[in-house]
Structure 1
Amino acid sequence: MNVHPIRTAEDHRAALARIEELWRAEPGTDAGDELDLLVDLVEHYEERNFPFPELEPIELLRSHMEATGRTQADLALLFGSTSRASEILNRRRALTVDMIYRLHAEWGLPADCLVRPYHLESA
């Protein structure tokens, strides 16, 4: 195992190529341990060098839904109401603590990004 910090774009490309080679490595093996370390190093490098712009909560929710193939119907199932999902996505209702908790616990969205204030549309 030849793992070292990722400092340059070339290091980053090499680490990604090695991750691809190791992708199906069994956990607990030398290859699996190398894969875990490389993934952590790449994640750290990318967070430092390619930060995500801060999205307001509804933009974040919409982006996540698009990226994961989720629909407004999926959001309605999560919130228990079709109209509530529509109101949230159309900025007519604010996210509640319960909704934020569900988005975090079930969809993996970062709760700290969902609690930010955002503009609501008037009825």
Structure 2
Amino acid sequence: MNWKVLKTEEDYTKASMRMMEIFHAEPNTPKGDELELLLVLVKDYDERNYQLPELDALEVIKYKMQEKGLKAKDLESIIGTKGHVSAVLSGKREITLKMAQKLKDYLSIPAEVFLHKAES
């Protein structure tokens, strides 16, 4: 098939189905090239038509803490004193860039989670 920009849900479905058929195609082959193109087209369609919900950084931090069995005191080396940790986790104090960088690494949180609030 001669692929072009996906404009309808039907185009999107066809492209997605084909992408799944050739998902294991070898790179630098005709099917591999087709797969690369389909990935770009599907991603473009998704970005134009589907809005992902924004994640609240504090909720993600709390979830990751629970998932890893961490307590507030475990974040003191990253955020600062017990009072600072409490203020950040309660939303009374902003997460600084330095904190976000450390939390991202410590809790394995994508950096994008911290960016949404700054863009608002």
Q: TM-score, normalised by structure 2?
A: 0.63
1:47 maps to 2:47: yes
The alpha carbon displacement at 1:3 in A equals 1.5
The alpha carbon displacement at 1:5 in A equals 1.2
State the number of aligned residues.
105
Aligned residue in 2 for 1:82: 74
Q: TM-score, normalised by structure 1?
A: 0.62
What CA distance in whole angstroms lies between the structure 1 residues aligned with 2:30 and 2:69? 41
What CA distance in whole angstroms lies between the structure 1 residues aligned with 2:27 and 2:90? 44
Superposed CA deviations along residues 33-67 of structure 1, whole A, max 9, x for unmatched, are: 211111111111111111224444335x36xx97x
What CA distance in whole angstroms lies between the structure 2 residues aligned with 1:58 and 1:115? 14
Aligned residue in 1 for 2:21: 21
The alpha carbon displacement at 1:94 in A equals 2.9
CA contact (8 A) 1:27 1:33 kept: yes
Superposed CA deviations along residues 66-121 of structure 1, whole A, max 9, x for unmatched, are: 7xxxx316596xxxx624587455435432212323528x643325325357xxxx
Compared CA separation, residues 45 and 96, structure 1 to 2 (3 A): same
Aligned residue in 2 for 1:115: 118
SS at match of 1:6: coil
User: Alignment RMSD, CA only?
Assistant: 3.4
Radius of gyration: which is bigger? Answer: 2
- Identity of counterpart residues, as a percentage? 30
Which structure shows the higher helix fraction? 2
Compared CA separation, residues 99 and 74, structure 1 to 2 (3 A): farther
Tell me which moved more, 47-56 or 24-33.
47-56
Aligned residue in 2 for 1:121: none
Aligned residue in 2 for 1:8: 8
1:34 maps to 2:65: no
CA contact (8 A) 1:57 1:115 kept: no
The correspondence of residues 68-107 of structure 1 with structure 2, limited to 5 A, is: 71-72=64-65, 74=68, 82-84=74-76, 87=86, 88-91=88-91, 93-102=93-102, 103=104, 107=109
